[in-house]
Amino acid sequence: MKNVASVHRFVDQVAIYVGDGSTTYLTAKQARALARALRDCARSVVNEKFFESSFGTREVPRVTLEE
């Protein structure tokens, strides 16, 4: 099975699935925060050497349907 990432809308949430993991549901606000973190990390990969990177770790709180 090839690795794949998918994004779709599920009612009023953004659903994301990466690889062989489970689907995670985000609010629109969380999806925007995740998009910014991915953008910033990609910029760091392109513009900085790994050992010079100041990117660190960004966290986006997860929301599931049960909450």
DSSP SS3 for 51? helix
pTM of the model: 0.76
Is a pLDDT exceeding 80 seen at residue 22? yes
Mean pLDDT of 30-37: 92
Is a pLDDT exceeding 50 seen at residue 67? no
Mean pLDDT of 18-31: 87
Type and span of the H or E element at 39: helix 28-47
Q: What is the CA radius of gyration of the chain?
A: 14
Is a pLDDT exceeding 90 seen at residue 11? yes
DSSP SS3 for 62? coil
pLDDT value of position 46: 93
